[in-house]
Structures are given as structure tokens and as C-alpha cells.
Amino acid sequence: MTVTKSTSTIPSRSIPLPSPLQTSARGTPFERSVWALTCQIPPGSFSTYAILAARLKSSPRAVGNALRRNPFAPAVPCHRVVATGGTLGGFKGKIARRDGEGITLQEKRTLLRKEGVKFDAVSGKVLGTPFTAFV
């Protein structure tokens, strides 16, 4: 008996998988679904861990853990996912220091700014409405 293993749990109605996910079997089915959903966030936009979690019927923590294990950045743009309150959350498996910043979060902020995402000058939070138009 031959068993065919599916490499994706993404419904056929979704957008095509980005090239790194087409050519690699890395990641669990859940991680791959998080990464594929993240690829739908357009440059200059952002979404939140909670929005992705609701779409995947999961938890924000599970989404964050999947993004922490993303081996395809920046092709799979995990930097476009922030915490619900507009703070950056984590990046590259790191969270902010007590002063609220860290080298990886500076990198995340820089990537978002290069794409046109705006930040509040006082609080440092992301400004705008999170992307929710997932396929």
C-alpha cells in the first residue's frame, strides 16, 4: 500500500504557496499553514497574532511559536505580525527586554518601516488597522 503525504493543509481556494513552501517540506502542517497565511499580508501592512489565530482556529501563542520557527524569513514575512495592542511582540524567537526593546525588535521595526508601516512617536506602537482580508 502506498501512502501519499500531503505537504500542506492549506485549502485549495487559498493563494498559491510562496516558493520556499513549494520546494521545502520543512515545518509541521500547522506551522506551514501559519507561514502561508502570513504570506498573504501585503508589504506595508501588518496583522496580529490573534487575527491569524482566529483564522486558523488556534491560539496567538501557537501562531507566535510557529512564526518563531520560520526558516524562510523574509520570504515568509513574519515581521508583519504584531501583538494585538500594536506592540511588536517578539521577533526571531526573542521578546523585548524590560526596557521594551532589543536588537531583534529594532530589526523588526526597521523592516516594517522600510515597507511603509508607521509607528507612534511616543509609544512606539504600530499605527493603522491590521490586515484581515485573508483568503
Residues with active-site annotation: 78
Q: What is the DSSP string of 39-102?
A: TTSPTT--EEHHHHHHHHTS-HHHHHHHHHT-TTTTTS-GGGEE-TTS----BTTB---TTS--
80 and 41 Cβ atoms separated by less than 8 Å: yes
Query: Please, what is the angle between helix 49-56 and helix 60-68, to 10°?
Result: 110
Cα distance between residue 32 and residue 103, in whole Å: 27
Grid cell at residue 18: 510562496
Strand partners, 48: 82
